[in-house]
Amino acid sequence: MSNKMWGGRFSSAPDAIMEEINASIGFDYRFAAQDIRGSQAHVAMLAEAGIIPADDAASISKGLEQVRAEIEAGTFTFSRALEDIHMNVESRLSDVVGPHAGRLHTARSRNDQVALDFRLWIRDTIDEIDQQIFDLQKALSEKALAHAASIMPGFTHLQSAQPVTFGHHLLAYVEMLARDRGRFTDARKRLNECPLGAAALAGTSFPIDRDKTAATLGFDRPTANSLDSVSDRDFVLETLSAAAITSVHLSRFAEEIVLWATPQFGFARLSDSFTTGSSIMPQKRNPDAAELVRGKSGRVIGALTGLLIVMKGLPLAYSKDMQEDKEGTFDALQSLSLCLAATTGMVIDMQPDLKRMKSAAGSGYSTATDLADWLVKNLKLPFRRAHHVTGELVRMASDRRIGLEKLPLADMQHVEAGITADVFSVLGVDKSVRSRTSYGGTAPANVRVQARRWLSRLAKEKRTV
Ligand code: ARG
């Protein structure tokens, strides 16, 4: 049997392999709700513009409701022979309402239809992801406020650098996530133009009202160029790049959680809910959730790269290559959503070991910069000279395997005569952290202000979580 939708020009059915390579229903069934919504807006506009009879439009719209109900109830049979969601819905519509279902496809094409469905789907998904990032920001900010003064080592090159607070560290991620949300919001703004009515590629000779359908579907305006409307997937690429950057942020945090949870670091204990045991080594508590958040970033980045490659050689307008825009995107955004949920759960459950963190914060001569700063402030040494003097003192302490605060004053004065006992006041980690009061610095007072600022900013969004 030739195809129900374009049988006119064809006399036989496609080869089985052709059907397999061509069909997208196995994944674009996810567009069912968007497809029906778009069709209802289109058919109402067609009737209002006098392009099709009003009673046919009403019957089509009602029929589409029935199709929607069947899909929601799980009683709808998707057919691969009908290729994609657009033709599956339309074919069932014609069973339900009769041949006038065929009027629905007036003045449109699957090319503008799929562009519309995907924009609607991405728009909904961005809203869901935004909510999830919000939830994570809130969990991090709450934990940060509770730990505004909890001291941990700050690292550069993963070498102990200067003490910071755990709250400060967590708020670093709140800032990153805010920019991530900004990127999704920007992508959403730019994609919010309606491609419906671009038809196959050139527009249509029917007197359609594109402003009307755009407004009905919540778009800011119709797209201005019909070729662009059906050809570009930059709205998907932008969303995937925002997703890739977010997943890289989550991956870095996950890597830190993996490190913190090792017995060697021992900075944090993860709850049983986000760890697994080993079937052979009874002592193990593996941070699987964190490892998977780290690992899944690969898929998200891969989806972005994959779609960039699909698109890069395509001439205008639509080519079937573009059907490859969906599976990677679905997988990537679903993975990101799962990673966000898992990270939020880990943050809420995580128990930092404050004693361990604090004692690690003092190791590795992490207050050496404070000593150098003391020399600059009190002895008016140029910073470079102070750095050199401090280096000698660190070497002396390190040779004796003791901390800087354990060096006898007389030995210090041997290196720099002007040093007084006051120097010991800056060698402790508490003092060091408290002194970092510059804007954006790690002093607990600053961190408290920042955490409260975030919590009130988030509360103002008045979301129901
Ligand atoms: N299933 C197709 C896709 O996902 C819909 C558009 C088909 N258009 C066409 N001219 N064959 O891209």
Give residue 3's pLDDT band: very low, low, confident or very high (50, 70, 90): low
Would you please indicate which residues are annotated as catalytic (active-site) residues? Answer: 157, 278
Instruction: Provide the CB-side half-sphere exposure for 192 (13 A, CA).
Output: 16
304 lines ligand 1 (CB under 6 A): no
323 lines ligand 1 (CB under 6 A): yes
113 lines ligand 1 (CB under 6 A): no
Query: Could you tell me the distance, in angstroms and rounded to a whole number, from the CA of residue 66 to the centre of ligand 1?
Result: 24
Contacts of 302 (CB under 8 A, 6+ apart): 328, 332
Contacts of 212 (CB under 8 A, 6+ apart): 45, 48, 49
165 lines ligand 1 (CB under 6 A): no
Query: Could you tell me the distance, in angstroms and rounded to a whole number, from the CA of residue 23 to the centre of ligand 1?
Result: 9
CB burial class (10 A; 0-12, 13-18, 19+) of residue 382?
exposed
117 lines ligand 1 (CB under 6 A): no
Query: Could you tell me the distance, in angstroms and rounded to a whole number, from the CA of residue 406 to the centre of ligand 1?
Result: 74
Atom number, ligand 1, closest to the C-alpha of residue 322: 12
> 110, 121, 122: which to mutate for ligand 1, most atoms within 8 A of CB?
110
Instruction: Provide the 10 A C-beta neighbour count for residue 273.
Output: 11
- Residue owning the nearest CA to atom 11 of ligand 1: 320
Atom number, ligand 1, closest to the C-alpha of residue 28: 4
State how far the Cα of 216 lies from the Cα of 395, in Å rounded to an integer.
72
Tell which residue, 204, 240, 235, 230, has the closest CA to residue 315.
230
247 lines ligand 1 (CB under 6 A): no
How far out from the chain centre does Cα 135 lie?
Answer: 12
Q: Are strands 151-156 and 159-165 parallel, antiparallel or unpaired?
A: antiparallel
State how far the Cα of 248 lies from the Cα of 296, in Å rounded to an integer.
10
Contact 249, 180 (CB under 8 A): yes
24 lines ligand 1 (CB under 6 A): yes
**pLDDT (0 to 100) of residue 273:** 83
Sign of dihedral through CA atoms 273, 274, 279, 284? negative
**pLDDT (0 to 100) of residue 276:** 79
Tokens of 371: 């000593």
- Residue owning the nearest CA to atom 10 of ligand 1: 111
**pLDDT (0 to 100) of residue 463:** 65
> 108, 117, 323, 325: which to mutate for ligand 1, most atoms within 8 A of CB?
323
Task: Read off the pLDDT of residues 118-143 as tens digits, 9 standing for 90 and up.
Answer: 999 999 999 999 999 999 999 999 99
- Residue owning the nearest CA to atom 2 of ligand 1: 323
Query: Could you tell me the distance, in angstroms and rounded to a whole number, from the CA of residue 349 to the centre of ligand 1?
Result: 45
28 lines ligand 1 (CB under 6 A): yes
**pLDDT (0 to 100) of residue 456:** 97
Query: Could you tell me the distance, in angstroms and rounded to a whole number, from the CA of residue 110 to the centre of ligand 1?
Result: 6
Task: Read off the pLDDT of residues 87-104 as tens digits, 9 standing for 90 and up.
Answer: 999 999 999 999 999 999
Average confidence score pLDDT of the chain: 95
Atom number, ligand 1, closest to the C-alpha of residue 85: 1
37 lines ligand 1 (CB under 6 A): no
Task: Read off the pLDDT of residues 318-376 as tens digits, 9 standing for 90 and up.
Answer: 999 999 999 999 999 999 999 999 999 999 999 999 999 999 998 889 889 999 999 99
Contact 287, 211 (CB under 8 A): no
How far out from the chain centre does Cα 136 lie?
Answer: 11
Task: Read off the pLDDT of residues 387-421 as tens digits, 9 standing for 90 and up.
Answer: 999 999 999 999 999 989 999 999 999 999 999 99
199 lines ligand 1 (CB under 6 A): no
233 lines ligand 1 (CB under 6 A): no
| Residue 165 phi, psi dihedral angles, 5° rounding | -105, 155
**pLDDT (0 to 100) of residue 6:** 65
Task: Read off the pLDDT of residues 13-63 as tens digits, 9 standing for 90 and up.
Answer: 778 899 999 999 999 999 999 999 999 999 999 999 999 999 999 999 999
Contact 135, 174 (CB under 8 A): no
State how far the Cα of 284 lies from the Cα of 303, in Å rounded to an integer.
34
Tell which residue, 179, 193, 319, 315, has the closest CA to residue 241.
179
Atom number, ligand 1, closest to the C-alpha of residue 24: 1
- Residue owning the nearest CA to atom 3 of ligand 1: 323
Residue entry with tokens 């017995």: 263
Residue 316 carries which side chain, given as an amino acid letter?
A: L
**pLDDT (0 to 100) of residue 4:** 63
Tell which residue, 326, 318, 337, has the closest CA to residue 34.
326
Helices 110-146/166-191 angle, 10° precision: 160
